[in-house]
Structure 1
Amino acid sequence: MLTKKQLFTRGMLDISPHMLSVIPFGIICGAIGVELGFDPLLVYAMSIIIFGGASQIVFLQLLSGGASGLVAATSVGVINSRHLLYGAVLSEYLEKLSLIKKLLISYIIVDQGFAESNKFFKKNKSEQYLHYHLIGTGCTMWVCWQIATLSGIILGSFVPEELGLKFAIPLTFIAIVIQDLKKLDHLIVMIVCGLSSLLFYDAPFRSYIIISPILALLVAALILRLKK
């Protein structure tokens, strides 16, 4: 049985490889905000409040393009609605926690942290304090993201475009799913999700981001039923 400290440290170590792509992503987010003409304090505050790279970029681009605050906030809500799926998956491991603890932990759950902790949870269901692994991944991501965003605000305008830092964004998510490419059923679900996101790309309020994973989940449920 691992202690709380050991689980927290394990979470930090498991999420660390993702920092190679997350940090450039954070620098890009900070730099884009300044380039679009927003106050650096606003850009940094948004990094703390929203704490989501894709959401932050969409929010800034919509506001700079003349969209209303309501439309921008709604779009961010749609993009982040995928976290409802994360909550559903993790609920069985966090059900004994109080509502306050669940809310605090939900703030630091991001794509990479969810992927690593969910993988760890499946292999270590007997551990008593599993949520400390999730806290470890989340806190590491939060600290690195804030430092990266601040660095982007200060230094982003000096980074040459030919370095191709924008390519770090898809790399962040490729690193999450690369291990599952060896499994046929997982690969089918990924292809369905990718194709449906292209098909519904023009859906209102960027809702393709939630439509495509829902369709992929339905396919995953069908595959599981067929297996049984």
Structure 2
Amino acid sequence: MNPKLNTMFKGAQHSTPLIVASMPFGIIYGALAQSVGLSHWAIIAMSVFVFAGSSQFIAIGLIAAGANVGIIIVTTLFVNIRHMLYAATLLPHVKRFSQKVRIPMAFLLTDETFAVSSHYLQKHPNSPNFAWYYFGSALFMYSNWILCTFIGVYLSQTVPNMSDWGLDVAMAVAFLGIVVPSLHNKPTLMCALVAASLSIVTYHWPNKTGLLFSALCGIAVALVIEKYQNNIPAPEVAK
């Protein structure tokens, strides 16, 4: 097989466990979105042009609550701020690519694709075929998300009370699978602990603002700890 296509296939293959875990999430999104009154085309268009699972869920929740457009836009924007951190991490590896390549890479960036791509770069930091690996993961995730949205819309018309099944728990499991392997040092561990603790305390904050606050506090703690560790002088070696 062509080396580029082989690398692309590996990207899709390595993403399969995370994609399988996210499938119920896409299906339940299609069902829930219809329950708040969105048309079939609006539901599908959101998956095609927005392609951000957590933001799509938050958006339909705010629509159901009667929130205005401004609040919906600002809230979903803040929820997706983490993608700026993902992009900053990947930038040294993609800056050699043309803008025509980087633009679709930016649009297709998800938690799952970032997770598998980061792991791939740890083993192959100078891979000339990284873009192929990335698109193998991202396009598989994108097509799966759209397909599951279609399935959710269809099933919501034929299966009663589907939105009450609790299928969205699968995404929580998928996120745990992404986050836990990344907790390999003190800054990342404290970031997760602070964010998790504060998210419980701020659970009832309006418009999911507690999630944003918790995430920012976790990031701030991690940055402070990392800066402190970097400023500690290395011990002198006895001569």
TM range (shorter): 0.7 to 0.9
CA contact (8 A) 1:78 1:205 kept: no
Alignment partner, residue 237 of structure 2 = none
Question: Contact 1:55–1:79 at 8 Å: present in 2 too?
Answer: yes
Q: For the residues of structure 1 that align with 2:147 and 2:190, how far apart are their CA atoms?
A: 37
Higher-Rg member (1/2): 2
Q: Is 1:191 aligned to residue 193 of structure 2?
A: yes
Helix, strand or coil: the match of 2:74?
Answer: helix
Counterpart in the other structure of 2:166: 164
SS of the aligned residue for 2:37 comes to coil
Counterpart code for 2:177 = A
User: How many Å separate the matches in 2 of 1:12 and 1:159?
Assistant: 34
Aligned to 1:114: 114
Structure-1 residue corresponding to 2:229: 226
> Which residue does the alignment assign to 2:42?
42
SS at match of 2:112: helix
Deviates more, 1:89-98 or 1:60-69: 60-69
Give 1:179 shift: 2.7
Deviation at 1:10, TM superposition (A): 1.1
Correspondence for 1:149: 149
Contact 1:190 1:216 in 2 (8 A): yes
Identify unmatched segments of 5+ residues in structure 1.
none
- Find the aligned partners of 1:178 and 1:226 in 2 and give their Cα distance: 22
* 1:22-61 mapped onto 2 (5 Å cutoff): 22-61=22-61
1:125/1:149 CA distance change after superposition, 3 Å: same
**1:202 deviation in Å?**
5.9
Q: How many residue pairs are counted as aligned between the two chains?
A: 226
Structure 2, unaligned runs of 5 or more: 233-239
Q: Which residues of 2 match residues 79-94 of structure 1 at below 5 A?
A: 79-94=79-94
Cα distance in structure 2, aligned partners of 1:201 and 1:91: 33
User: For residue 27 of structure 2, what is the amino acid of its counterpart?
Assistant: I
Letter of the structure 1 residue corresponding to residue 176 of structure 2: I
Q: How far apart, CA to CA, are the structure 2 residues paired with 1:173 and 1:223?
A: 24
* TM-score w.r.t. length of structure 2: 0.84
SS at match of 2:168: helix
The aligned counterpart of 1:130 is: 130
Question: Is the Cα–Cα contact under 8 Å of residues 108 and 138 in structure 2 kept in the other structure?
Answer: yes
Identity of aligned residues (%): 25
Counterparts of 1:27 and 1:184 in 2: how far apart (Å)? 35
> Alpha-carbon deviation of 1:167?
1.5
Alignment map for 1:10-29 (pairs within 5 Å): 10-29=10-29
CA distance in 2, matches of 1:172, 1:18: 6
Q: d(CA) in 1 for partners of 2:101 and 2:57?
A: 29
* Contact map agreement 1:12 1:137 (CA 8 A) in 2: yes
8 A contact 1:55–1:80 mirrored in 2: yes
Give the partner amino acid of 2:223: A
TM-score by length of 1: 0.88
Aligned to 1:216: 218
Whole-angstrom distance in 1 between the partners of 2:211 and 2:132:
29
Helix, strand or coil at the partner of 2:13: helix
Equivalent position SS for 2:96 = coil
Whether the aligned pair in 1 keeps the contact of 2:62 and 2:207 (CA below 8 Å) is no
Aligned pairs for 1:65-76 within 5 A: 65-76=65-76
**Pair 1:191–1:78, CA change in 2 (3 A):** same
Task: Report what 1:98 is aligned to.
Answer: 98
The alignment partner of 1:165 has SS state of: coil
Aligned-partner Cα distance in 2 for 1:219–1:131: 33
